[in-house]
Amino acid sequence: MRHRIIALIFISLADGVQAQAAPDGAELYARNCAACHGEKGESGIGVPLSLPSFQATVSDEYLHKTIRLGRPGRVMPASGLSDAEIDAIVRFMRRWGAKQPQSPQMYDARTPSFPAEPIKGDPEHGRRLFAKLCASCHGTDGEGGQGTGVTFSRPRDQQIMAPALNNPGFLAAASDAMIKETLLKGRYGTPMNHFLGKKAKQKDIDDIVSFIRGFEKTPKTQTAAVLETEQAVLTMDSPYDLQATIENVKRAVVSNNFIYIREQRLTAGLVPQDQEDPRQHIIYFCNFSMLNTALATDPRVGLFLPCRITVVEQNGKVKMMAVNPKRLSKIFNNTELNALCDEMTKRYLAIMEEAAI
Amino acid sequence: MNKAIRLLIAALLLGLAAAAGADQLLMIRSSQPFPETMSALQNAISDWGYKVTRVQNVDIGLSKIGYKTDNYKVVFYGKAEEVAQLVEKHPELIPYLPLNVAIFAEKDNTILVTNRPGVLAEFFPDPELKALFMRWENDLTEIFNEVQDAR
């Protein structure tokens, strides 16, 4: 019996080693990337990875580092996958790059690789050129475009939002030479124009690259911010009884510019109506303008929806409770959402305070 | 797969995700259109012993006010006994109950998203709750797998 167990352990270990040796890139991509980037890399919440001009201007190393580090504060999370698994995903993604029928001739079908050496330029001159040529899309401080995918935030014919060039994840992943190549060749199929054969000289492009690299030395900007806050739940005691508190919350919701939607018991739908626990009531409400803004900023915010406060009676005491949006904002890795979550936390507290007066 | 092994795998995944600061959302893309995916989600929730308590129409409210939106709904679900026990023993979890999944259309595909239940272990570090969050994470992963496999 013992021999069998030992044999089984060895077989399991061997299986594990085999699995480590040949991770399935397609499966890993489907599980980790497709939700945002599309099954065939056609974009969605994330950028279009299969776009030929993208494939032709990024190195495997850039893709690997991007998966590993993510984009702090810009939705794309850092990955805990092994190096072998990330490499398998990169290899899988490269299958799209092989066929590039609609690409202009400036793009090479081969996978590019770039030297790691820094490019020397005049960052001050680069700053002026950046302000003139790049800032309208990438922002004055390289903070990138706003919003994220799906129908809520931008027209479907625009596949990509301008990346945040000051993001620490981008700066760590992209070499100077890769940034230069992107400037020279642009990204055909996106609003990113190429500088090849235009008025900008090689030196000008080096200066812009040098300015972009300089973002590394500036303090971590708002782009990569993640809200840090304490408790996951907002709680406030009510001096009133359960029913009076429920009515107070409904009134406070309206006076704080929300529309009252409905009230239901916490266990509604879980048990027959006559068995519902009468001591916990959820009050649902919404501010549609705020909701529309939130979905445009990040369509994944559904777990907040609709806004709700639960009124609970426990041991003779009545409490109001809600999720703390500020605490939840961290899981979205989206700096743009932070301000909205902060605002929602304040509004929840304002409603509870008003209901408790 | 043996339940204990699945829990072990979930625990390892939780540990890895936490260690790497990795994605704290569970999110999948279904290649099926919205109505089919919604139906698959509700079936999968039932298959895993939970009850759908409500489907919240986020899209209808937005459209009525005049905002342009595609299908967007939130599915709430839970287990009666589990909710009753948590309310008594861990009332701090009440605002996170019932559990929910946001489901929205993206062209001909459908996206499902919710927070990893494992994230709640960070919010509520009571060791007694860890096994529960692990089970929720495992069940949700299986529910999402079932939705993805549905054709």
What pLDDT sits at residue A156? 60
Average pLDDT of the residues in B35-41: 97
- Put simply, the chain B residues between 10 and 49 with a CB less than 8 A from any chain A CB are 16-17, 19-25, 27-29, 31
Fold category of A233-356 in CATH: TATA-Binding Protein (3.30.310)
What pLDDT sits at residue A4? 55
Number of domains in chain B: 1
What pLDDT sits at residue A304? 86
Q: Are A79 and B20 in contact (CB under 8 A)?
A: yes
What pLDDT sits at residue A102? 60
What is chain B's mean pLDDT, rounded? 86
Least confident of A274-278, B106-110, B140-144: B106-110
Interchain pair A77, B24: CB under 8 A: yes
Collapsed DSSP state (helix, strand, coil) of residue A58 = coil
Asked if pLDDT for residue B22 goes beyond 60, the answer is no
Collapsed DSSP state (helix, strand, coil) of residue A280 = strand
Choose the mutation target among B56, B71, B85, B93 for the interface with A, i.e. most A CBs under 10 Å: B56
CATH of the domain at B73: 3.30.310.70
The contacts of residue A94 (CB under 8 Å, 6+ apart) are A55, A60, A111
Q: How far is CA A74 from CA A3, A170, A228, A237, B54, in A?
A: 52, 10, 16, 37, 32
The contacts of residue B123 (CB under 8 Å, 6+ apart) are A232, A233, A327
Q: How many CA atoms lie less than 13 Å away from A289 in the CB half-sphere?
A: 2
Total number of residues shown for chain B: 151
Asked if pLDDT for residue B140 goes beyond 60, the answer is yes
Which segments within B19-141 are labelled E, that is strand?
25-30, 51-57, 72-78, 99-106, 109-115
CA distance B43 to chain A (A): 16
What pLDDT sits at residue B1? 46
The contacts of residue B43 (CB under 8 Å, 6+ apart) are B146, B150
What pLDDT sits at residue A221? 59
- List, in sequence order, the alpha helices (H) in A160-267: 168-173, 176-185, 202-213, 242-255
Is any Cβ of chain A less than 8 angstroms from the Cβ of B94?
Answer: yes
Q: From chain B, pick out residues whose CB is under 8 angstroms from the CB of A288.
A: 61-62, 65, 67
Q: Are A32 and A41 in contact (CB under 8 A)?
A: no
| Strand-pair partners of B27 | B113
* ipTM summary value: 0.85
Q: Which residues of chain A are under the pLDDT cut of 50?
A: 1, 14, 16-19
Rounded distance between C-alpha atoms, residue A32 and residue A319, angstroms: 40
CA distance A209 to chain B (A): 30
Fold category of A22-218 in CATH: Cytochrome Bc1 Complex; Chain D, domain 2 (1.10.760)
Q: Encode A293-308: b = buried (16+ Cβ within 10 Å), e = exposed.
A: bbbbbbbbbbbbbbbb
Q: What residues make up the domain containing B132?
A: 3-149
Interchain pair B124, A270: CB under 8 A: no
What pLDDT sits at residue A309? 98
The one-letter amino acid at A83: D
Q: Band of the pLDDT at B66, cuts 50, 70, 90?
A: confident
- Kind and range of the H or E element at B149? helix B127-149
pLDDT digits (tens, 9 = 90+) for A201-234: 889 999 999 999 999 987 765 666 666 667 899 9
Choose the mutation target among A270, A293, A305, A337 for the interface with B, i.e. most B CBs under 10 Å: A270
Average pLDDT of the residues in B128-136: 94
Interchain pair B115, A328: CB under 8 A: yes
